[in-house]
Amino acid sequence: MNILKPSKQLPIVSTDITLEKVVANENLYNIPIYQRLYVWGNDQINTLLEDLFKAFEEDQPKYYLGGIMVTQNDEKLDLIDGQQRFTTLWLISKILGHDLVHFQNYTLNKLQKSRISFSVRDFANRYFDSNNSELILTKEEWEELQPISSGEELIKTFVNKLTVENRKDFAAFIYKKVFLVATHMPEETDENKVFEAMNNRGVQLQQHEILKSTLLSALKGNKTEMHRYSLLWDACSIMDEYLEKNIKIVANLNWKNLFAKVTDESEKIVQLPIDIHSRLTKEYLEVKQRNLLSILSEDINDTDLQQLGNTEAILNDYESGKVRSIINFPMLLLHTLRIFQHRYKDIINTEDSAEVKGKDLIEIFKKHNHYFAEPTDVKIFIDLLWEIRKNFDRHIIKWVSVEENNEEVHLIKKLYQNETAFQRKAPTANEGFALLQSMLYHSQQIITHYWLTPLLNKMLDVEDTDELYAYLEKLDNAMFCSKKRDLRTMSYEMMFYNDEDLVGDFTFAKTVLNSSYGTGYPSYWFYKTEYILWKNRKDLKCEHWQEYRMTAKNSVEHISPQNPKPEEINIVFSHDDDQTTIQTKKDDFGNLVLLSPGMNSEYSNKTYNVKRAEFRDKKRLDSLKSDLIFQNDSWNWGLCEIHRVKIINLFENHIQ
């Protein structure tokens, strides 16, 4: 019996499926009318791609991607839940090909049709069924499809960096070893009610909540102590708020319990007290612990304040703005575990260092459960977590919402206190420390960010921002401007180094920049170039770069086009060059810039003069490297070489 096509009498059934099984079962999928169109952005797609490729490199026999919920609708299965993830697999199949073409399409009346279709949005069906080259859609329809087309460009960039052999094997891995749990609802199910329930359901118990319970069980002999450490854990766990707000609410504290009163009108930069345990007094520990997540989402009224025994205004005396963490709580726990290994368990062998793999949080802690044999170990770990989280809020960038233009930027907001209020304030000008972190955030795996481990460890010993900034520059050079190694072990090793031992390899960097990798260049080298250009903006007479921000870019574009038009004058190669020389010159680092997928498609095969004019017409400065190139009235091989040499010289000064 094919359990994915049950009769109406069958109950709810869940089973493991692969894309190979989907093809074998001849399953077709429909996006119901109540579902939104594809909305995943760069972060979600990148996370999935990197996680999939990591599992492929490790040759995992099974990789579980989560679940989908379906119900039979005539000849197709309606996707009630899991549409975004499932559609991303379809997009990967379209770009990667090989075995995955069987999942991408099926044959109907000798025509290739997409395995995923839409109940409404016929334009989306036409997009999925076509090769997009001759597709005619309205402006509004193209705008609605923008996340899909951007997703395709991002996946294409990722795939282009793989070897031909890797592409084939990676496709086979996704096709045969990536598993989904398919839950099949009976045909008479009211899909709208199920969908509504899925979207309104309570938050399920997460791995870090299970881990908390496991660790704190070691303290069950002392309920007051257990409760105190539970409060610290809960305050640290909410990553999209600042710690001072979290601990104040979860522990039912007044501001006076956390900070000394300011007696003058001037503002002062403050931070949470060192003696947090003494602040969590018995009076507050006896208050019934409330769930922090629910408190932060509730409208707090007078009754709530009386129940909390809090006579202060909660919302009027504190302002932080809307922020979002660059990592989630499981990742912070794993970085903390690595620092715990280094500082308290004397783990010297880098191979024994914990991996940053959030979805395996419990398994990783189980592997190292011997670290927590004694209650003292648990207390040391949570105290360490608290200190690391304090420093994280104080020195690490967050996504900060900017209301004027409805976007998010990377900033470090400091906590100020005056006589009547507390406020997290953004700096008045762009800061190098934040921009360097932003460069690393955008250029490294967003599911690991191994550079954070040694930086967070350094923050436990150093408070001065300038000293931390200098350290991160050296750390970046040592980790990424040198021959590629395993980042898990390499970043752990960095914690043993003195600052003067953290050095980059300029010879390696020069070799990379003098190579002609074209679209095969890792994004890091472009992001690093942007940072170095920004830092040298005064010497380059480019003061207008001051407020430049790093944005998500992953598509390598040729300044002199890949396929120039006959009338194109501004080209980097001579028509007398042989084909190998032509391709080498076009793929030179001096002729390349990194753009967002949308900008790349806009540039396409336009001439240098057209690209220059369009770049200068834009209000936003998206690329400093582009700005430097477009200062030239024309573009040729000589100017391309000069540009590359200038970049290499800046790298040399920066690294050495």
The pLDDT of residue 12: 64
Asked whether the predicted pLDDT for residue 287 surpasses 80, the reply is no
DSSP secondary structure, 357-424, as one string = -GGGHHHHHHHTGGGGSSHHHHHHHHHHHHHHHHHHHHHS-EEEEETTTTEEEEE-PEEEE-SS-EEE
* Per-residue confidence band for 598, with pLDDT thresholds at 50, 70 and 90: low
* Per-residue confidence band for 129, with pLDDT thresholds at 50, 70 and 90: confident
* Per-residue confidence band for 169, with pLDDT thresholds at 50, 70 and 90: very high
* Contact indicator for 65, 178 with CB cutoff of 8 Å: yes
The pLDDT of residue 281: 59
Asked whether the predicted pLDDT for residue 573 surpasses 90, the reply is no
Average pLDDT over residues 431-443: 96
Number of other CB atoms surrounding residue 51 within 10 Å: 19
The pLDDT tens digits for 77-125 are 888 778 888 889 989 999 998 999 999 888 877 778 888 888 767 778 7
- The region of weakest confidence among 28-42, 215-229, 370-384, 626-640 is 28-42
Q: d(Cα 52, Cα 19) in Å, to the nearest integer?
A: 14
Q: Please state, in angstroms and as integers, the Cα–Cα distance from residue 456 to each residue in 19, 392, 401, 472, following that order.
A: 41, 7, 24, 10
- The region of weakest confidence among 436-445, 513-522, 589-598 is 589-598
The two tokens of residue 311 are 């006579």
Number of other CB atoms surrounding residue 142 within 10 Å: 13
DSSP strand pairing (398-402 vs 407-411): antiparallel
Widest Cα–Cα separation across the chain: 85
Q: d(Cα 48, Cα 447) in Å, to the nearest integer?
A: 9
Nearest 5°: the CA angle 166, 164, 508 is 80
- The region of weakest confidence among 51-60, 375-384, 392-401 is 51-60
The pLDDT tens digits for 199-219 are 544 444 578 888 998 899 888
The pLDDT tens digits for 548-560 are 999 988 888 889 8
User: Comparing C-alpha atoms, which of 592, 574, 575, 570 is closest to residue 644?
Assistant: 592
* Per-residue confidence band for 309, with pLDDT thresholds at 50, 70 and 90: very low
Enclosing H/E stretch for 45: helix 42-57
The pLDDT of residue 283: 45
* Per-residue confidence band for 643, with pLDDT thresholds at 50, 70 and 90: very high
- The region of weakest confidence among 254-258, 403-407, 610-614 is 403-407
* Per-residue confidence band for 365, with pLDDT thresholds at 50, 70 and 90: very high
Asked whether the predicted pLDDT for residue 406 surpasses 80, the reply is no
- The region of weakest confidence among 16-25, 449-458, 606-615 is 606-615
* Contact indicator for 265, 419 with CB cutoff of 8 Å: yes
The pLDDT tens digits for 32-88 are 766 667 888 888 888 899 889 988 988 899 888 888 888 888 788 888 778 888 889
Q: Which residues pair with 105 in a beta bridge?
A: 114
Looking at every residue in the chain, the average pLDDT score rounds to 84
Asked whether the predicted pLDDT for residue 19 surpasses 90, the reply is yes
Asked whether the predicted pLDDT for residue 330 surpasses 90, the reply is yes
Asked whether the predicted pLDDT for residue 1 surpasses 50, the reply is no
- The region of weakest confidence among 262-271, 369-378, 415-424, 599-608 is 599-608
DSSP strand pairing (105-108 vs 111-114): antiparallel
The pLDDT tens digits for 483-507 are 988 999 999 999 999 999 999 999 9
Q: d(Cα 287, Cα 294) in Å, to the nearest integer?
A: 16
Asked whether the predicted pLDDT for residue 232 surpasses 90, the reply is yes
* DSSP state letter for 605: T
* Per-residue confidence band for 606, with pLDDT thresholds at 50, 70 and 90: confident
Long-range contacts of 7-11 (CB under 8 A, 24+ apart): 8/186, 8/187, 8/188, 10/184, 10/186, 11/186
Q: Which residues pair with 117 in a beta bridge?
A: 30
The two tokens of residue 268 are 């002062």
The pLDDT of residue 125: 78
The pLDDT of residue 503: 95
Angle between helices 223-237 and 207-216 (to 10 degrees): 160
The pLDDT tens digits for 499-545 are 999 999 999 999 999 999 998 999 999 999 999 999 999 999 999 99
The pLDDT of residue 34: 60
The pLDDT of residue 340: 98
The two tokens of residue 234 are 């809960």
Q: Secondary structure of 209-251 in the HEC alphabet?
A: HHHHHHHHHHHCCCHHHHHHHHHHHHHHHCCCCCHHHHHHHHC
The pLDDT of residue 291: 41
The two tokens of residue 127 are 């997009």
Q: What are the residues whose beta carbons fall under 8 Å from the beta carbon of 592, sequence distance 6 or more?
A: 518, 521, 526, 556, 557, 558, 559
User: Comparing C-alpha atoms, which of 195, 143, 179 is closest to residue 31?
Assistant: 195
Q: Is 575 exposed, middle or buried (0-12, 13-18, 19+ CB in 10 A)?
A: exposed
The proportion of the chain whose per-residue pLDDT surpasses 90, expressed as a percent, equals 46
Residue ranges per structural domain of the chain: 13-200, 204-348+357-445, 508-655
* Contact indicator for 14, 182 with CB cutoff of 8 Å: yes
The pLDDT of residue 2: 38
* Per-residue confidence band for 194, with pLDDT thresholds at 50, 70 and 90: low
The pLDDT of residue 570: 73
DSSP secondary structure, 339-356, as one string = HHHHHHS----GGGSPP-
Asked whether the predicted pLDDT for residue 393 surpasses 80, the reply is yes
Q: d(Cα 63, Cα 181) in Å, to the nearest integer?
A: 11
Q: d(Cα 609, Cα 612) in Å, to the nearest integer?
A: 5
Asked whether the predicted pLDDT for residue 185 surpasses 80, the reply is no
Q: d(Cα 130, Cα 124) in Å, to the nearest integer?
A: 10
* Contact indicator for 530, 553 with CB cutoff of 8 Å: no
The two tokens of residue 451 are 């550079």
The pLDDT of residue 403: 72
Q: What are the residues whose beta carbons fall under 8 Å from the beta carbon of 149, sequence distance 6 or more?
A: 132, 142, 597, 601
Asked whether the predicted pLDDT for residue 452 surpasses 90, the reply is yes
The pLDDT of residue 35: 67
DSSP secondary structure, 412-450, as one string = -PEEEE-SS-EEEE--SS--HHHHHHHHHHHHS-TTT-T
